[in-house]
Amino acid sequence: MKIKYLIISIIFLLIPVNILANENVNIYVFHNYNCSYCQKALDYFNNLISKDSSIHLFEYELLEDSHAYNRSNYNKVLNLLNINKQSVPLIIIGNDYIIGFSPSIQEEIENKIIYYKENNYQDIVGINLEVIDEKGNYLTNTSNKDYYINTIFGKINLTNNSILANTLILGIINSFNIYSIIGIIILLLVINIHNKRNSWIIFFSYIGWFSFIYYINILSWFNANDYLDRIFLLKTLIISFCIILAGINLYYYIKKKKINISNNISLFFPITMVIILSTITSLLFVLKNNNNSIMYVELLNKNNLIGNSFMRYLIFYLSFFNITNIIIFLITKFISNKNIFIKLEKYTTLIKFIIFILISIIILII
């Protein structure tokens, strides 16, 4: 009986050893900085890494490779895996390769990752690129990654900053997002803001819902990269909405009529509009700027922030994230209270028509 329990115990102890031995998967991506599909691939893999620490990404940029080191590695991999086509992004997972990237191949990529996690294999690419040795030990520090963000003042290196400083920097920079600003402007043009109580309810409903959509993306409750092919649809929806509003305002201007919206109007219509508009604009912002979200989560993880500390910094970040929206709203309220545009009242619908057309053009080209 003792021998039986001993055998069972040995088998039980061996199971986790095998799982741990295979849990790390190395992914190698050769890319060009000006390749949009490459950037989508990197955004996608960075998002995976933020959710799964057993995935390690190694990037090799080919165009800005001044010492031809990455190009040499690229040619080495082409010969090693007998790849005849030279194109980017070239994605290596285990001993398999994929050329190109689109949302349709994400399931294939994730299946390959699962396969190599569950099966023993020798990472011949990693060995030849001197990322790991023949025993699977890393020769490169996988956590040694620099974090940069592009601004109008040039690149800012966030790597060695405190998490508080990075929260402030990323929050303020991301607050200057065109989609959120456009949503605020549309709301202010459509909804009567003279009722102080309703205007504040509508405004905070907008930034609250916009932040919620952005927040659940940061927490990876949904994968923004799965919706990259929906950008055109989202843009079409908001452009169509603006064109309809432009047409209504042009009609009223030609007919010399004034659009009257009662101050006592039910909040149901504006709140419904807020939810729809903030959802569309937030999704557009997330899809266009998902890399910044991933970067911030990685910086939080790098500082070993979990639980309440993690959540506190996210809330702090979102506070700075809405600074521009709050400033625009307060300026609009100030102008409204001062009745600066009373002299232009008869041109109000024409001005709104022009603004809605301009918004449609801006969304189309960004």
In the chain the domains, ranked by start, together with CATH numbers, are 2-145 (3.40.30.10), 154-365 (no CATH)
**Predicted confidence (pLDDT) at residue 236 exceeds the cutoff of 80:** yes
Candidate from 182-191, 227-236, 357-366 with smallest mean pLDDT: 227-236
Residue 363 corresponds to which tokens in the numbers above?
């969304």
Residue 60 corresponds to which tokens in the numbers above?
């090799």
Candidate from 36-40, 86-90, 139-143, 296-300 with smallest mean pLDDT: 139-143
Q: In terms of pLDDT, which residue wins out, 124 or 230? A: 124
Least Cα distance to 180 among 271, 331, 282, 270 occurs for 282
Candidate from 194-208, 231-245, 299-313 with smallest mean pLDDT: 299-313
Q: Please write down the long-range contacts of 46-51, taking CB distance under 8 Å and 24 or more positions apart.
A: 46/291, 46/294, 46/295, 46/298, 47/220, 47/223, 47/224, 47/225, 47/290, 47/294, 48/110, 48/113, 49/294, 49/298, 50/220, 50/294, 50/297, 50/298, 50/301, 51/220
The residues, any chain, with a CB within 8 Å of residue 277's CB and separated by 6 or more, are 183, 186, 187, 206, 238, 241
Q: How far is residue 318's CA from residue 208's CA, in Å, rounded to a whole number? A: 10
Q: In terms of pLDDT, which residue wins out, 154 or 39? A: 39
Candidate from 78-87, 197-206, 223-232, 234-243 with smallest mean pLDDT: 223-232
Q: Based on the number of CB atoms within 10 Å of its own CB, is 296 exposed (0-12), middle (13-18) or buried (19 or more)?
A: buried
pLDDT of residue 337: 63
- Per the CB < 8 A criterion, the answer to whether 228 and 284 are in contact is no
> What average pLDDT does the segment 259-264 reach?
54
- Report if pTM > 0.75: no
**Predicted confidence (pLDDT) at residue 352 exceeds the cutoff of 80:** yes
> What average pLDDT does the segment 145-161 reach?
73
